[in-house]
């Protein structure tokens, strides 16, 4: 495990190299909250609630959801694998005595841990500045479920992006897959609009997809909503993680022999 922890630390260090990146990420977090405050302020001007949300409930949801979605940066994995397979430098990962998928997991953990601190600090500061009456569940069982679900959601996204990355071995270009994934994720994670605003039949379908449990449901659970879905959600996202792992193993077994390292 030490080697993977060292990989995480190495990528944490790489995040600290460029000060502008750190500052802009914080500004981005802050501006998102500011934008949400203004937007929802206008919408709630003449209303007490929208859907099942009060103004402060909506802002709480938005802060948690954008915090989680900002931590989900696994797209870098598919891009890195794709680039390296195409230009023949993927061997960097093949020749070292570490599992390639675990390497990317550790890499992602390092990046996430770094941003976790900064984004959390930015979110807390804004909660105080806007005097948002932060709505947060007090039930420990739900908090534990939400934390586990957010963790599994991230693992799923890492695996999905890793899977899409290694599809380069077969398809050479994965731009279309990434585009479909991104559009689906934006819609289904509820990072744009809370899924509660969709008709029940639509959310019923979305509940079967893993993306529902990446940002949306953990954010809802943290803000004290949809608590009856907590355990079922954990089971579903857990199953998706297992399924995705199996897809990775099959794809790797089938396509790795196609790798020719061409490019340089």
Binding stretches for other proteins (CB under 8 A): 2-3, 5-7, 10, 13-14, 17-18, 88-89, 91-92, 94-98, 256-257, 259-262, 264
Residue 6 vs 49, nearer CB to other proteins: 6
Nearest approach, Cβ of residue 5 and other proteins (Å) = 8
How many degrees, rounded to 5, is the angle at CA 86 between CA 83 and CA 90? 70
Nearest approach, Cβ of residue 4 and other proteins (Å) = 8
Task: Please answer whether residues 185 and 160 qualify as being in contact, where contact means their C-beta atoms are separated by less than 8 angstroms.
Answer: no
Backbone angles phi, psi at 50, to 5 degrees: -125, 125
Nearest approach, Cβ of residue 145 and other proteins (Å) = 34
Residue 18 vs 35, nearer CB to other proteins: 18
Nearest approach, Cβ of residue 140 and other proteins (Å) = 36
Residue 111 vs 219, nearer CB to other proteins: 111
Residue 17 vs 20, nearer CB to other proteins: 17
Nearest approach, Cβ of residue 174 and other proteins (Å) = 17
Residue 27 vs 96, nearer CB to other proteins: 96
Residue 11 vs 240, nearer CB to other proteins: 11
- DSSP secondary structure of the chain: -HHHHHHHHHHHHHHHH-HHHHHHHHHHHHHHHHHHHHHHHHHTTT-SEETTEEHHHHHHHHHHHHHHHHH--THHHHHHHHHHHHHT-THHHHSSSS-HHHHHHHHHHHHHHHHHHHHHHHHHHHHHHTT--------HHHHHHHHHHHHHHHHHHHHHHHHHHHTHHHHS--HHHHHHHHHHHHHHT-SSS-GGGS-HHHHHHHTTSGGGGTTHHHHHHHTT--GGGHHHHHHHHHHHHHHHHHHHHHHHHHHGGG---TT-
Nearest approach, Cβ of residue 98 and other proteins (Å) = 5
């Amino acid at each position: 495990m030490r080697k993977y922890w060292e990989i995480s630390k190495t990528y944490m260090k790489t995040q600290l190299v460029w000060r502008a990146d750190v500052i802009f990420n914080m500004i981005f977090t802050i501006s998102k909250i500011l934008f949400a405050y203004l937007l929802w302020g206008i919408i709630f001007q003449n209303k007490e609630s929208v859907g099942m949300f009060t103004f402060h409930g909506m802002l709480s949801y938005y802060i948690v959801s954008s915090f989680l979605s900002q931590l989900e940066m696994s797209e870098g994995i598919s891009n890195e694998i794709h680039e390296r397979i195409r230009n023949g430098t993927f061997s960097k990962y093949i020749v070292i005595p570490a599992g390639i998928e675990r390497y990317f997991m550790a890499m992602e953990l390092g990046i996430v841990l770094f941003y976790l601190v900064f984004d959390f600090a930015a979110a807390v500061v804004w909660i105080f500045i806007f005097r948002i009456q932060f709505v947060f569940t007090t039930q420990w069982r739900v908090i534990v479920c939400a934390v586990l679900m957010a963790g599994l959601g991230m693992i799923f996204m890492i695996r999905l992006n890793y899977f899409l990355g290694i599809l380069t071995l077969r398809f050479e270009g994965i731009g279309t897959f990434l585009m479909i994934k991104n559009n689906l994720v934006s819609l289904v994670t509820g990072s744009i609009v809370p899924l509660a605003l969709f008709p029940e039949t639509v959310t019923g379908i979305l509940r079967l997809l893993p993306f529902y449990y990446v940002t949306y449901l953990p954010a809802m659970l943290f803000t004290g909503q949809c608590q009856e879905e907590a355990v079922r959600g954990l089971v579903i996202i857990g199953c998706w993680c297992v399924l995705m792992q199996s897809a990775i193993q099959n794809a790797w077994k089938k396509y790795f022999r196609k790798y020719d390292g061409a490019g340089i």
